[in-house]
Structure 1
Amino acid sequence: MAASAALRAQVAAKWQESFNRLNRTEPGISGLTNYSHAWNLAREALRPMDISDPKAKPPGFSLEQVRHACEVLNKCRRLPILLEVFTADVKESFVWINREIDAYMAQYQETNDPVVVSQLVLRLRQWYLAWKPKYPLGSHLTASYTLNFQTHLFAHLPPEFAAGFKALCDLTLIPSESILPAQHAFLPSTSSPLATAMSTDMSSPSQLQTQIHTPTLFSAFDTLGLIDRYDSLLASVGYTFISAHISSTCARQWTKPVLPELRKWMTDVIVPWLVVGYAPGCKSAEEARGMLQGVGSRFDFWVNKCVCDLRTEEIFDIIIDYPESAGALEDLKECLQRVDQRAALVSALRKAQRKRLLHPAAETKVILSQYVATIRCLRIVDPPGVLLYKVADPIRRYLRDRPDTIRAIVANLVGDDDDGGEALLDDSEPVQPLQTAEVEDYTEPNWEPEPIDAGRDFRLNKPSDIISTLVSIYDSKDLFVKELQVMLAQRLLGVRDEEGVERERRNIEILKIRFGEAALQVCEVMLRDMTDSKRIDQHVQTQKPSIVHPTIISKQFWPSLDSSTDIVMPGQFQTLQEAYAKEFMTFKPDKRLKWLPHLGTVDLELELADRVVVATVPALEAAFIELFSESARWTVDDLRARVGAVERPAALKALLTWVDLGVLKEENEGEFILLETAEEGGHARSRPTAPVMAMEEPPIVSSQEQEMAQIQVYWKFIEGMLTNLGPMSLDRVHGMLKLAPDYDRTMDQLAGLLEAARREGMLVVRDGLWRLNK
């Protein structure tokens, strides 16, 4: 009983406290009555109504009535309860909005018309504004209402709404003719939902844009929270539009940078769209700039990414088109500073090189030209050279395995590009000595660390001048020096006047600067032989005139001459040679001449019965036609027996030369006769002159063949060392070979020999260690 009395007293106290709070110490229950009236008025003023019902009318309370009611509720501390009730009413009444959402979305699914989505958005905004508290009940009430309204809205929007919203946003970026007169490439295809929307009650894209792209629509987006909710979709619309514009206007436009024009286009087209979408209600440019700082940075990044992606796809062709494509390289350099796509650029370029360049169908000169262009282009894009280091390695390894790489490089050095291809070197590039890797000085005040993406051997392979880079493909420049000697020998033996010798002398002077005088001493001896030969010939001619004018060379200083086609000149040619050799021995008693007629040419004048044929031919052709002065009929085998060791294909080729000139005729297979009188259909003239025959290069053994011949001398020693001792470095192989008899090679010369063995598949090198290729 005591507990019940205490409980009754506690409950009574609570009821009395509540009554006093609601009655506010007014007489009787007048305060409670006023509270009840205020509650009913405030709730009715906030109650959501069905705006789709034409009979529904808003409550006709004045602002003073609502304010007074709220003051009463506030004094009674009942405003939080009013907010809870209002929130519950919004939740219960949202069924009306859901019904309209379903209707609009059903219509959109049938028509795929984004205009239907715009109507839905504007309708939802009407619902929001209709239910929004219109009386000054505090910002907390409005914020709470907005959050609840958006929560219920997003909970009921179907997944198809996102696609419709994106299609609607697409319409807002259809370029009007006044802004982009020529950008029809951005208009959608007639089969797309966007085209369907455009054809609905619209006569042109500009009219459609005028209706769709309005501040009212974006204001509705902002009011309903759609911009924040679908920010990625809205941004993707802008990204897609920018990507399409860049692909349409910037593809293969390489002559000048496109980024300045793109930024101007962004200012004219994209920024106004961003202001409407992301900075509604801004009153000044400064305010808009502040509101767009974040999103503007994202869109600028996207522009750089699109340009970088485009130029990465085109990089191989950009390099081919250099220097006309310098503008694209400047764009790529700027974009890579903003977008981290260096690895993608390297991957794309290496893939294109494997597909379009590094294959047997590509000539070595073409690969070298592309390599040099790659060096020049990537130096613009990445001055430190990290990208070049990563891209060049496959090209260098492929060129190292090609047998004619050295010869192609040397041919460009001496200006012997007979095929009319592009030179590897610019005339504007200064002639300078070959550069070698320098030891890094860490005490240098301007020293900089390696880039973060640099490879292990980046410093050792850091690009220098073009020639040094090409020569560094191989471990030793001795290979190039030997090839220079071979090529100079071929060119000198083909020279027919003093002007040609002087031209070669100028080339050698330039090459001395690059390779050093010591490396080209043998070339100097060859040039001196040419001068001495001219002087000796002049002396012999003064003593006993002769129609023979040989080039006299020093055997020990010239590259090995191919003697596999050595021939013996018959008849008058042999008589002339013996007479010249006799006079030479009178002038040089301590020397003897060894004739190499297959390296020379003969100027002939053939007197036939009805014509005279004049031609300049190789010695083999001259020897054969001389034999026909003895007999008018010869077989190929008989001719070969008379002139020496000549391969049958070479003999047939020489005879066919005279067949083409109408001097010989193949009567039976392998049997030729002399045509003293031209056959019918021929043109017999008193002195028909045959064109001068195109001469092949003198058959001089190439530097690589010489290297292989020399490696055989020491191969047994090298093979034994690598078999017994395992992989060895170059300096250790060099030290061990010093124990071999007659070994006098330098470290560079040994490197050339080992490189030749590697190309032949006899050796492999890995991490600087040479080993047998098993």
Structure 2
Amino acid sequence: MATDALRAQIAGKWQSAFSRLNRGEPGISGLLSFSEAWTIAADFLQPRDLADPAPKKEHDMQEVRGAFDTLSKSKMLPMLLENFLESMRKQRYLIEREVDQFMSQYDSTEDCQYIAGLVLRLVEWYKAWAPIPELGYTILSAYTLAFHTQTFSILPPSFASGFKALVASTLTLIDSDTLPTWAHHPALAYYNPKRPDVPLWSAFDQLGLLDRYESLISSVCYEHIEAHIQETCAGKWGEPMLARLREWMAEKIVPWMIMPYARGARNTDEARSMLQGIGSRFDFHVCKTLSDLRTKEIFDIIVDYPDSLCALQDLKECLQRVDQRTELVQTLRKANKKRLLHPGADTKDILLQYVSIIRCLRIVDPPGVLLYKVADPIRKYLRERPDTIRCIVASLVGDGESGDSLVDENEPIQPLQQLQVEDYTDPNWEPEPIDAGPEFRTNKPSDVISTLVSIYDSKDLFVKELQVLLAQRLLSIKDGNFERERRNIEILKIRFGESALQVCEVMLRDMTDSKRIDQHVQSQKSLSLHPTIISGHFWPPLQSSTLTMPGQLKELQDEYSKQYTTFKPDKRLRWLPQLGSIKLELTLQDRTVSADVSLLEAAFIELFSEKDIWTIDELTTRVRSIDRISAAKALATWVDMGVLKAGGDSVYRLLEVAEEVPTSSSAAAIQHLPAVEEVPTIMTVQQQQAEQMKVYWKFIEGMLTNLGQLSLDRIQSMLKLAPGYDRTIEQLASFMEAARREGLVTVKDGVWKLNR
């Protein structure tokens, strides 16, 4: 049961509420006026159906304001707002019905004009149901929040894609003179035809769509930037694009950004301040998109260097703004592995691309961290190629197979740079870049030649290859002009040092001395033989042969040797006839044949002066152990000239009288002659090393005989005890692999043993 105190409290509250509603008037006259005011206000706020053809009910605004004033004095406006929002919820089906109509049209056509129509129609509903401003900000904000909430709950999932398409169509206005279909909406027809999207942005703001779909609007701008960069910048490397893109942003994108991101700005400075943050984000995206594009194109950009210099400079600026260095390294390494580091690529092409990579990445990243990370697999691959050193050396002396050179003529000639210990007391010393690896050093060689030579641990390999290449070039000179080679040696002295080129100077002096000796011999006795005389101790090993010259050719050699010994009694000549050539004239019954041929070919044709028919075996016996393939090739020269005729069983007959048409047997014999490769004059460095390694085979054979089986590391450590052994483990591995192919050894799980 209620206590007296409770009854008294309830009675007091009731009396207080009655007095507030009655406003101190006698009787219930105040309650009657409050009831009338509630009815007028509720009827005024009642949400109406815009589709109802009945005319809108007219209200006496003075009476309405009086009703709201009465409710305000009675402190019943919150209750009226709650009643109004409930009425809105009950009338929501009116809006939902129209939303379904617009969205069904959009879903069937995917035309964003229906989304624009829906947005403008929702604004009409928003304005039609909105309370008058005199009610104050609190009621208006509560209404706006409720309307936004109910509208968002009505919109189907497909609205987001339609809204994105509509926003994207506003962006196309900046690059196109053609208006989209939604621009012809009656609600937009009165506005500026150049910017018919301005009322749309206002509608988006009123409906709360800008805040709700903020990330979606940003994504539309991001995608537009990406599409524009892809369209205007892809494959265009000869002109700077980043500055042009920023101009495009300032002229086209910034005016568009004012509506979604700087709405309400009262002046230019205020708009600039509001756009500063989002503008920085879009500029970052421009740099990132251009960086991604150039990263995908980086291999072709490097191939096109120096014509692609502008693209590299753009990439450098983008990488300073965007941290895409790791992606660049990974992309370029992957492209190099797929397109460059494979057996189908020529070593010269790999070196040319590597040099371009060096020059390009030094533009993008002067400290060299990116180059260090990208070049490592290229350097390892080049070390495994046997002709890498030869290609580098050939380029140094201008003996490349093509017009491309690894050496830039504009680069100053300077000594090879060596790694130096960092001087931390240097006031200009700077720490290594933050993304540098533990093995990176900032004072790596800066010139291209030093970088190429540093692929190998020692420059001695290059010096040996220089000697081989110079020997071949000197022996190929016919006119006695050695000025070019003398200039090359002087240049190489600067790079490799005086001591490294001493042997090359001796070879060059041998060539000039040879010419002088020949002039002396010819002055004593005129001979048709002009040999090149070299000192065997300083020259690389030459290809040996047991060729013996017959007849008058032998007599010429003997006579020249006799005159030379008279001139230099302490020296003797050792002839290498397989390396020479001769110009001779053959006198036959019906014709005279002139030819410039090798001495082997001359030896064979001279033997036909003894008799007209020879077998290939008889010929090879007379000239001492020439293989049948080389002999067949030499004889084929005379068959092609019509001097000899090939018959069956490898028989050759001298044609004193020329045959007009070769017989079928002779043509068949010529057609089926085996092909033979030209044998180089000078043994290459690899051939020299292989010959020298044969000396150590007995050591290896003895190890494997006594110890059974050994690993490559163990063989290498034991061979170091042998006198004069200075091979690397990679060279030993190549030699052991060659021995395995010959069947001398076998290997399993990295352990070698003799093949018994």
Q: Given the alignment, which residue of 362, 369, 374 partners 1:379? A: 362
Q: 1:410 is aligned with what amino acid?
A: V
Worse-superposed segment, 330-339 or 118-127: 330-339
Following superposition, the deviation at residue 543 of structure 1 comes to 1.5
Contact 1:761–1:773 (8 Å) recurs in 2: no
What are the Cα deviations for residues 736-756 of structure 1, in whole angstroms up to 9, with x where unaligned? 87754x33x7xxxx3x54442
Following superposition, the deviation at residue 518 of structure 1 comes to 1.4
Q: Given the alignment, which residue of 451, 456, 464 partners 2:433? A: 451
Trace 1:231-630 onto structure 2 (pairs within 5 A). Answer: 231-417=214-400, 419-459=401-441, 462=444, 464-499=446-481, 501-563=482-544, 565-630=545-610
Whether 1:36 aligns to 2:35 is yes
SS of corresponding position for 2:732: helix
Q: 1:97 is aligned with what amino acid?
A: I
Q: Distance in 1 between matches of 2:128 and 2:349?
A: 75
Question: How many residue pairs were aligned?
Answer: 722
Following superposition, the deviation at residue 320 of structure 1 comes to 0.9
What are the Cα deviations for residues 293-322 of structure 1, in whole angstroms up to 9, with x where unaligned? 232222222222222222122111111111
CA 1:571 to 1:489, structure 2 compared with 1: closer, same or farther past 3 Å?
Answer: same
Contact 1:526–1:553 (8 Å) recurs in 2: yes
Contact 2:183–2:196 (8 Å) recurs in 1: no
Q: Distance in 2 between matches of 1:467 and 1:473?
A: 10
CA 1:716 to 1:134, structure 2 compared with 1: closer, same or farther past 3 Å?
Answer: farther
SS of corresponding position for 1:323: coil
Aligned to 1:86: 84
Q: 2:106 is aligned with what amino acid?
A: Y
CA 1:539 to 1:81, structure 2 compared with 1: closer, same or farther past 3 Å?
Answer: same
Contact 1:717–1:737 (8 Å) recurs in 2: yes
Following superposition, the deviation at residue 611 of structure 1 comes to 3.2
Aligned to 1:648: 628
Q: Given the alignment, which residue of 632, 636, 651 partners 1:671? A: 651
Q: Distance in 2 between matches of 1:316 and 1:341?
A: 16
SS of corresponding position for 1:416: coil
CA 1:674 to 1:228, structure 2 compared with 1: closer, same or farther past 3 Å?
Answer: farther
Q: Distance in 2 between matches of 1:566 and 1:441?
A: 60
SS of corresponding position for 1:292: helix
Q: Distance in 1 between matches of 2:345 and 2:96?
A: 68
What are the Cα deviations for residues 47-99 of structure 1, in whole angstroms up to 9, with x where unaligned? 3222221225255242x555544444333333333332232222222221111
CA 1:729 to 1:623, structure 2 compared with 1: closer, same or farther past 3 Å?
Answer: same
SS of corresponding position for 1:569: coil
Whether 1:169 aligns to 2:167 is yes
Q: Distance in 1 between matches of 2:425 and 2:751?
A: 43
C-alpha RMSD over aligned residues: 3.3
Following superposition, the deviation at residue 698 of structure 1 comes to 4.2
Q: Distance in 2 between matches of 1:233 and 1:322?
A: 40
CA 1:125 to 1:200, structure 2 compared with 1: closer, same or farther past 3 Å?
Answer: closer
Following superposition, the deviation at residue 622 of structure 1 comes to 1.8
SS of corresponding position for 1:453: coil
Worse-superposed segment, 367-376 or 211-220: 211-220
SS of corresponding position for 1:498: coil
TM-score, normalised to structure 2, is 0.88
CA 1:175 to 1:567, structure 2 compared with 1: closer, same or farther past 3 Å?
Answer: farther
Q: Distance in 1 between matches of 2:649 and 2:711?
A: 58
CA 1:697 to 1:286, structure 2 compared with 1: closer, same or farther past 3 Å?
Answer: farther
What are the Cα deviations for residues 532-586 of structure 1, in whole angstroms up to 9, with x where unaligned? 21222122111222121111111111111121x4411111111000001011111
Q: Distance in 1 between matches of 2:267 and 2:737?
A: 77
Whether 1:148 aligns to 2:146 is yes
Q: Which has the higher contact order (CA 8 A, sep 6+)?
A: 1
What are the Cα deviations for residues 365-410 of structure 1, in whole angstroms up to 9, with x where unaligned? 1111111111111111111212211211221121111111111111
Contact 2:423–2:429 (8 Å) recurs in 1: yes
Trace 1:128-207 onto structure 2 (pairs within 5 A). Answer: 128-174=126-172, 179=175
Q: Distance in 1 between matches of 2:452 and 2:273?
A: 53
Q: Distance in 1 between matches of 2:202 and 2:656?
A: 104
Contact 1:432–1:513 (8 Å) recurs in 2: yes
CA 1:709 to 1:215, structure 2 compared with 1: closer, same or farther past 3 Å?
Answer: same
Contact 2:419–2:445 (8 Å) recurs in 1: no
Following superposition, the deviation at residue 460 of structure 1 comes to 7.8
SS of corresponding position for 2:171: coil
Contact 1:762–1:772 (8 Å) recurs in 2: no
Q: 1:301 is aligned with what amino acid?
A: F
Contiguous gaps of at least 5 residues in structure 1: 182-186, 188-193, 203-207, 683-694, 764-770
Following superposition, the deviation at residue 210 of structure 1 comes to 5.4
Q: 1:478 is aligned with what amino acid?
A: D
Aligned to 2:742: none
Following superposition, the deviation at residue 111 of structure 1 comes to 2.3
Q: Distance in 2 between matches of 1:512 and 1:27?
A: 123
CA 1:761 to 1:300, structure 2 compared with 1: closer, same or farther past 3 Å?
Answer: farther
What are the Cα deviations for residues 263-320 of structure 1, in whole angstroms up to 9, with x where unaligned? 2222232222222333334443333322222322222222222222221221111111
Contact 1:49–1:56 (8 Å) recurs in 2: no
Q: Distance in 2 between matches of 1:410 and 1:566?
A: 31
Q: 1:40 is aligned with what amino acid?
A: T
Trace 1:682-761 onto structure 2 (pairs within 5 A). Answer: 698-713=680-695, 740=722, 742-743=723-724, 750=726, 753-760=728-735
Q: Distance in 2 between matches of 1:66 and 1:114?
A: 41
Q: Distance in 2 between matches of 1:209 and 1:758?
A: 81
CA 1:392 to 1:461, structure 2 compared with 1: closer, same or farther past 3 Å?
Answer: farther
CA 1:330 to 1:577, structure 2 compared with 1: closer, same or farther past 3 Å?
Answer: same
Following superposition, the deviation at residue 326 of structure 1 comes to 0.9
Q: Distance in 1 between matches of 2:549 and 2:345?
A: 41
Aligned to 1:215: 198
